[in-house]
Amino acid sequence: MDKFTVHTGRVVPLRLSNVDTDQIIPAEYLKRVTRTGFGDGLFAVWRDQPDFVLNRTERAGADVLVAGPEFGTGSSREHAVWALQDYGFRTVLSSRFADIFRGNSLKAGLLTVLLPQEQIEEIWALTEADPTVELTVDLIERQVRIADRVFAFDLDDHSRRRLLEGLDDISITFQHLDEIEAYEATRPSFKPRTLPVPVA
Amino acid sequence: MGRTLAEKIWDAHVVRRADGEPDLLYIDLHMLHEVTSPQAFDGLRLAGRPVRKPEHTIATEDHNVPTLDIGNITDPVSKIQLETLRRNCAEFGVRIHSLGDPEQGIVFVVGPQLGLVQPGMTIVCGDSHTSTLGAFGGLAFGIGTSQVEHVLATQTLPMAPFKTMSVTVNGTLKPGVTAKDIILAVIARIGTGGGQGYVIEYRGEAIRNLSMEGRLTVCNMSIEGGARAGTIAPDETTFEYLKGRPHAPQGEEWDAAVEYWRTLYTDDDAVFDREVVIDADQLTPYVTWGTNPGQGAPLSSSVPDPADFADAVERAAAEQALSYMGLKAGTPLREVEINTVFLGSCTNGRIEDLRLAAEILRGRKVADNVQMLVVPGSAKVRLQAEGEGLDTVFKEAGAEWRFAGCSMCLGMNPDKLAPGERSASTSNRNFEGRQGKGGRTHLVSPAVAAASAVRGRLSSPADL
């Protein structure tokens, strides 16, 4: 996983609530068996409309997405995170994220930042007034800075440390293999097993 | 202080607990399908890791499969994805039920019918509708592909704690009102984000009186209310369903299991972080009018006016939804014409759903301008339905009798809506383009689906 410490970039304001995972990456794009190349499917249907915010010239190269509440609702597809990253987004700000999307984003190194809706609206107004204005997400200080405004955000210490250091969860868990084995020794024998396949 | 059901199951699966870290939870059952697993197996290969516990892992094929001619996967990309799953399972020693196998089907229909889903278990799958399986009194939640790889490698997951919510459904459902109407009403009440951060426990007389099939329907759509998991305390209905299934415990093991399962309930003095109460007697058939599952209303009502929403975000969402759905505020929902009916999915593709719809269609005809797809949730459900003669009922009514798969629930296989087409669908998501680009979806129960097929408009059986 790539590290995330401090990122500064221009903003794409997405003034919509309930941006579900089928909008972020439609199901027809999920047939790939690799992790790469999903950027072309990002918001595929909306991008067909010339006035969609991502299509505007002043938003070209902007890599901070700022969206309305319930961002990432719906399916568990991590492809939604990969599509945002592959397109170039480093961070997404919203007043509410769906749980599974949030978990996926933090696992994959896309920092999702929770801010109150009033602050989201303030960022929208600032970037719409001046699309060249830059926003900084500072994970070290847990701050969002734009123009003269500074907003604090919360992220649990564990997730923050993983992102700052780019740590791999599986390696961390393997450090506790003895505890996993000790737990397994206590599991009741009536718990089901998929193998061997029972004979009908 | 007492504990809730969800807290009891959580505590029983903690492998490691340390300050400043999420709990490391043991996973009892990991289910796989072709869409969210290929990159996880790739990760294992890159790191040289095996699947740690193949005996807690099982795969099936569902999202990409055709339902008309299962011997002919015409989309080459779908074919590659299915072949990749087969190859990965062979390489890593994972049990798989492929297309054509009598146990193939939608992952959340297959698990219960094999008896692999039992009370008190932790169950994961790279699919948000894993919440379905909490109906047996376990903790079942959807995960992303990075987590799929984590479980394949370690059989554990680091998880941040949940909050707990009770949804109590008191009283008795009126005839014609089903489990689907309960959950659509719950989501309309709490909204698509109302369950965020929570595990929901469904309780109350109306829930107790549901069959296992009905409970699976309710828990299935917990995710549509934002909750990662839904659960229902196990009882005689649960034990009765499980007894004799291929993977249910037998003999003394069965007795030991039931003794444990009977401890799985919320203590009287336990406290939920949030409580919601619904009166079953007041419920009528529900349908959705918008583009998220929270935008639902009783079938007897009309398309709402966005101006009536006090909240600015909700108002804007309603305006966008009506524009996409091609609906006018004030139109009675019963006058909305549909041209497609989809009966199936992990929400409503089980035998009881097919029986209910067949009973309504018996001796009736699907309207001339309506195409109705009946897609059993699994090959076993299809065989069982054929044994009961339900396929004949559907075919005589003019509906199409298909093979098992996810089908028209999502646009990943040949079953799709064309732009502008409007469906009454027993599935779980009415997002823009979910059933095909430009398609318009109304979520309904199997009873409303069947009645709507006959009348060509959103209808309940009472309208026939």
Establish whether the linkage from the previous residue to B50 is cis, with ω within 30° of 0.
no
Q: How far is CA B79 from CA A27, A140, A192, B16, B110, in A?
A: 15, 45, 31, 41, 21
Contact A173 B150 (CB under 8 A): yes
A180 touching B, CB under 8 A? Answer: yes
In chain B, residues with a C-beta closer than 8 Å to the C-beta of A183 are 15, 26
pLDDT value of position A62: 98
ipTM of the predicted assembly exceeds 0.85: yes
Residue A199 in this model has a pLDDT that exceeds 90:
no
pLDDT in tens, B295-318: 999 999 999 999 999 998 899 999
The whole-angstrom separation of Cα A96 and Cα B176 is: 36
Contact B35 A180 (CB under 8 A): no
Residue A145: how many other CB atoms lie within 10 Å: 16
B46 touching A, CB under 8 A? Answer: no
**Strand order across the B198-203 sheet:** B229-231, B198-203, B163-170, B274-279
Indicate the helix (H) or strand (E) that contains B29: strand B29-32
Residue B463: how many other CB atoms lie within 10 Å: 15
DSSP category for residue B343: E
The whole-angstrom separation of Cα B137 and Cα B156 is: 20
Residue A2 in this model has a pLDDT that exceeds 90:
no
Instruction: Using CA coordinates, name the residue in chain B closest to A71.
Output: B193
B438: left (phi over 0), alpha (psi -120 to 50) or beta: left
Contact B317 A176 (CB under 8 A): no
| Vertex B93 angle, CA B90 and B98, to 5° | 50
pLDDT in tens, A109-167: 999 999 999 999 999 999 999 999 999 999 999 999 999 999 999 999 999 999 999 98
Tokens of B330: 């004030």
Nearest to B429 among A31, A74, A108 (CB): A74
Contact B26 A81 (CB under 8 A): no
Residues 290-309 of B with CB under 8 A from A: 291-292
Rounded to the nearest angstrom, the minimum Cα separation between A120 and chain B is: 13
DSSP category for residue B44: H
pLDDT value of position B426: 98
Instruction: Using CA coordinates, name the residue in chain B closest to A74.
Output: B224
Contact B47 A170 (CB under 8 A): yes
Which regions of chain B are under pLDDT 70?
Answer: none
Helices (H) and strands (E) in chain A, counts: 8, 7
Given a contact cutoff of 8 angstroms between Cβ atoms, the answer to whether B182 and B280 are in contact is yes
Residue B365: how many other CB atoms lie within 10 Å: 13
B132 touching A, CB under 8 A? Answer: no
Stretch A51-59: mean pLDDT, rounded? 97
Q: What is the dihedral of CA B179, B184, B188, B191, to 10 degrees?
A: 100
Residue A200 in this model has a pLDDT that exceeds 70:
no
